Chains A and B, each alone.
Chain A
Amino acid sequence: MLSHNTVQTSVLLELEHILKRFGGVRALEDGNLSVKAGEVHLLLGENGAGKSTLMKIAAGMLQPDGGVIRWRGEPVRLRTPAEAAAIGVAMVHQESLIAPHLTVAENIFLGREPLRGGMLDRRRMEREADALITEHRFPLQSGWRVERLSPAQKQLVEICRAIHSASSLLIFDEPTSSLSASETAEVFRIVRNLRERGMGIIYITHRMEELRAIGDRVTILRDGCTVASGALAELSMEQMIHHMVGREIAALYERAPLEPGEELLRVERPGVCFRIRAREIVGLAGLMGAGRTGLCRRIFGLDGDGEVYLSGRRVRIRSPRDAVAGGLAFLTEDRQRTGLALRLPIRTNVTLTNLSSLSRLGILTAAREQSPVRNLIEKLRIRADSPEQLAGRLSGGNQQKAVLAKWLFRQARIFLFDEPTRGIDVGAKAEVFRLMDELARAGAGLLMVSSELPELLQVADRILVMRAGQIVKELARPTTQEQILRYAAVGE
C-alpha cells in the first residue's frame, strides 16, 4: 500500500473507464483521464464527445454509472460538488452558474459564507474577495453586482470562486470561449500561475491555437471514449484533430475574396464609417468591450433610433422590425438566448421571420411550412431528424445553422455575424465558413465580428478594427494578427 502511494504521489485524480448514461443515451462510454499536480492537462474533443460530462463527474455534479474515480491513489465517491471541493476539486463552468443579483464577493463565497456569531460576516467576505481579486489582478470589485458585469467579467468571478474553494485541482470548461485576446492572455497567466503553485489544472477548450500556449499533457475524447492521451509535445496538430474528428479535415480554411458588387450597407456615424458591398465578407476585430456587438445592435435597431444607408438609400431604423424589413439579419453570439426558441421545433423557428409568405388569407398551415424548411435543412446540412425536432436538441453548430436558415427564409441580404464560431467544434467551424462563403457568392454582404483572429484572417476580405467604440483602422489583405492587435489595443 505504501509503495503504491509513493509511486502515485504526483497523480491527483484518475478517472478510469467512466460510464454515464442519460436515459437511453450514452454520454460516456469509456472515459479515462489522469491528471498530475503541477500540470495543465488539456481535454479535447468535439461537441458531444463527453468532455463536460466527464468533468462534471470529476467535480461531483454528476454520478457515473460505472468506472472508478481515484484521488491520490485512493478510490473515492464524489456525491456533490461540496464533497469534491472538500478534497480540493472545483470547476469553472462554461455557462455562468452565478447568481446575478448578488455581488462579486457574495458569489465567490456562495455556499461557504463565513459566519460571525451566526450572522454573515460581510466584512470578512469582502476583505477576502478583494485580496483574491488583487492577488490575481482581476478587473473586478468585490461589491459589484454580477448582473452588470460583462460575460468576461462573469467568467472571472467563476474563476475566483473556484480558486477560492479548491486547493488542489481546478477544472476549466472552455474559459476563453467568450473572451477577447487580451483577456485570454490574462486567463493563461492565471492558469500558469496556479500551475506554478503546484495545482493540477484540467482545461477544456475548442480553440486549437490555444493548446501549445497553455498545455502540458492532453487527453482526447471522441464519442464518449478516451481515444488518446499523452504529452502535448509528442502530438502534432493534425494528429490531435484526427483523433478528435476521427477523419482527416483541412486544419485551415482557405477562402479567396470575390469581386465585390454594389454597396449594400453603409454606416456613417461619428467615428464609425464603413460600407459592405455584395459578395464581401468584412471582418470586425477589437478587444472585448471595444463596442463591436454594440455596433451590430445599433445597426439592427436594438438600441433605439439610427440611420443607415441600404443600397445607397437612407433608411431610419427604429427597431429590429425595420432592420429585418430592410434585409438585415443579425446572427448573435448568444444563439440560445437571442437566436432560437429552444423548446419550439426547427420549423417554427425558421419560418418565424417570414410567416406572411406562408399565409393565405391570414391562415397558416404546418403542411405548407414543411417543404421550404426541409429544403433549408438539406441545403445547410443541418443534422436533424425532421423539421419537427426541437431547436434545443441541436448541437451548437447545427443551432448556428438553424439561425442562418431563419434568415435565409427571410431572404436577408446583409448578415451581421457576431462570433459565428463561438461554442462550435472544429469540424463544424469549417462548415460555417463554407456557408458564409456561399452567402457571399450568392450576392450577400457579411459583417463578421470575431475575437478569433486566425479565423478573421482566413475568412474576411478586409478587417475593420474597433477600439473604444470607434473604427480606428481598416486593414486590407494580407495582414497579420500582430497588426490587428496593435490597432485594437493602441489604436495606431
Chain B
Amino acid sequence: MIQRLLPFLSLIALFVGLSISSPPFLTATNLSSVVRQTAVINIMALGMTLIIVAGGIDLSVGAILAFAGLIGTKIMEQHGAIAAGLLAGIAAGFFWGLVNGLLTERLKINPFIVTLGTLGIIRGLALLYSGGLPVVGLPRGFSFLGEGAVLGLPFVLYLLVFCAGLTHFLLQYTKLGRYAYAIGSNREAAVYAGIPVSFHTVAVYAISGALTGLAGMIEASRLMTGQPTAGQGYELQVIAAVVIGGGSLSGGEGSVIGTLIGAFIMGLLANGCDLLGISPYIQQAVIGAVIILAVTLDEVRKRRFAKS
C-alpha cells in the first residue's frame, strides 16, 4: 500500500522540500508557471496512459504535436479564425493517432516500430509543409489558450482538469476503458472473449492523437508560433510521466491520477533545478535517474506480488 502511494508521497515530499529550500517556489507566479509548463506534457500523457494501459506505445506524439500545431496556426494565420484553427489542430492529431492505430492493427506490427516510423514521417511532413520555417503572425486572442487566466488560475489548468476528468471517466466508467485494460493485460484472452480488440486499440490511439493535437495548440499558443520542430523528445517525457505514475509498459496497468502525479513530479524536478540554480544538463540526468528509480520500485512491488 505504501508503495502504491509512493509516487504521490514523493510528489508531496518534493513540494515540501522545494517550499523550504527555495522561497520563490511557493509563489503564485512560480506555481502557475509550473502548471503552464507541465500542461502540455500532462495532456499528452493522458492520451499515452490510454495507449499504455491497452498495451501499446506511441513514439510519434512529439511529431504529432508539431504537426497539429503547424496546421492549426496555419489556418489562423491565413483566415484569422481561432476556433477553426483549434479544431483543425485537434483533428490533425486525431488523424495521426488513427493512422498509428490502423497501421499497428492492420499490418500487425509492433507499435514501437510503427510509431518510430510515423515519428519520422510526420516530422518530415511538418518540415516539408512549413519549409522548415515557423508560422507567425497569429491572432492575438490565441495567446489566451496557453497564457490566459480565469479567476486567477491559468486557463490551461481548467483544460487539464477537464481532459483528466474525461480520460479518467473513459478509463473507469466506459467499455472502452475496460477493454483497454483487458487488451493490455491479456490481448489473446480479450480476443477469445469476443471483444472487438482491433477497433478499441485503434480508438485508443486516435483519442490520444486528439489530446496530443490539443497539446500542440497549447504549445503553439504559449510560443505564439507554429514550430515544425516543436515537441522534440517530448515522447520520452510523456512516457516517463505514465511510467512514474504506475503505468506498465507491458500493458494493463496505469491510471490518470498516477500519470498526473508522474507529470507533476517531473515538472517540479525541472522547476526545482531551475530555482536552485542547477544546470539544465544535470536536470536531464536527474529525471532519467528518477524514471529508473520509479520503475525499479514498481518492479520490486510486482515481484513481491508474484512470489506471495
Contacts and interface: CB of A to CB of B under 8 A. Distances in A.
B175 A362 contact: yes
Nearest to A410: B194
A355 interface: yes
B181 to A, nearest CB: 6
Interface in A338-362: 338-344, 348-349, 351-353, 355-356, 359, 362
B178 A320 contact: no
A222 interface: no
Interface string A314-329: 0000011101110000
Interface stretch (B35-43, B60-68, B112-120, B184-192): B184-192
Nearest to A412: B194
Interface string B147-183: 0000000000000000000000000111101110110
Contact of A344 (B172, B185, B188, B195): B185
22 contacts: A23-B304, A302-B191, A320-B191, A320-B192, A337-B186, A337-B188, A338-B192, A339-B192, A342-B185, A343-B185, A343-B252, A352-B178, A352-B179, A352-B182, A355-B179, A356-B175, A359-B174, A359-B175, A362-B175, A364-B174, A364-B178, A365-B173
A324 B308 contact: no
A324 B190 CA distance: 12
Contacts of A364: 173-175, 177-178
Across the A-B interface, the 8 shortest Cβ-Cβ residue pairs: A324-B194, A341-B185, A23-B308, A341-B186, A22-B307, A320-B194, A321-B194, A338-B188
A24 interface: yes
A343 B252 CA distance: 8
A113 B186 CA distance: 35
Contacts of A325: 194
A348 B188 CA distance: 15
Nearest to B188: A338
B178 A406 contact: no
Given A325-B194, A332-B192, A355-B178, A342 B307 contact: no
A324 B193 contact: yes
Max count, chain A CB within 10 A of own CB: residue among B172, B190, B308: B308
B253 interface: yes
B196 interface: yes
Contact of B190 (A24, A352, A366): A352
Given A341-B189, A344-B185, 10 more contacts: A23-B308, A300-B192, A302-B191, A320-B191, A323-B194, A338-B189, A348-B182, A353-B193, A364-B178, A366-B172
A330 B175 contact: no
Contacts of A321: 194-196
Contacts of A324: 193-194
Contacts of B179: 352, 355
Contacts of B189: 337-341, 349
Contacts of B190: 341, 352
Interface string B183-227: 001101111111110000000000000000000000000000000
Contact of A363 (B174, B185, B195): B174
A190 B304 CA distance: 38
A1 interface: no
Contacts of A337: 186, 188-189
A43 B94 CA distance: 59
Contacts of B194: 319-321, 323-325, 353, 410
Contacts of B177: 364
A25 interface: yes
Contacts of A342: 185-186
What band does the interface of chain A fall in when counting residues whose beta carbon is under 8 Å from B? 35 or more
Max count, chain B CB within 10 A of own CB: residue among A323, A341, A348: A341
Nearest to A321: B194
Interface residues of B, number: 25
Interface of A: 22-25, 300, 302, 319-321, 323-325, 330, 332, 337-344, 348-349, 351-353, 355-356, 359, 362-366, 406, 410
Contacts of B172: 366
Contacts of B173: 363-365
Contact of A343 (B175, B195, B196, B253): B253
Contacts of B185: 341-344
Interface string B48-89: 000000000000000000000000000000000000000000
B175 A344 contact: no
B182 A330 contact: no
B150 to A, nearest CB: 29
Contacts of A365: 173
A302 B190 CA distance: 12
B170 to A, nearest CB: 10
Nearest to A353: B193
Given A341-B182, A364-B178, A352 B195 contact: yes
A24 B193 contact: no
A344 B308 contact: no
B1 to A, nearest CB: 14
B83 to A, nearest CB: 27
Contacts of A343: 185, 252-253
B181 A348 contact: yes
A491 to B, nearest CB: 31
B287 to A, nearest CB: 28
Contact of B252 (A332, A344, A355, A362): A344
Contacts of A366: 172
A341 B252 contact: yes
Contacts of A340: 186, 189
A23 B307 contact: yes
A439 B193 CA distance: 19
A344 B307 CA distance: 17
B308 A362 contact: no
A366 B181 CA distance: 14
A132 B167 CA distance: 58
B184 to A, nearest CB: 9
Interface in B251-308: 252-253, 304, 307-308
A1 to B, nearest CB: 39
Contact of A352 (B174, B188, B193, B308): B193
Given A324-B193, A332-B192, A341-B190, A348 B178 contact: yes
A353 B178 CA distance: 11
Contacts of A349: 189
Given A338-B188, A363-B173, A22 B308 contact: yes
A338 B185 CA distance: 11
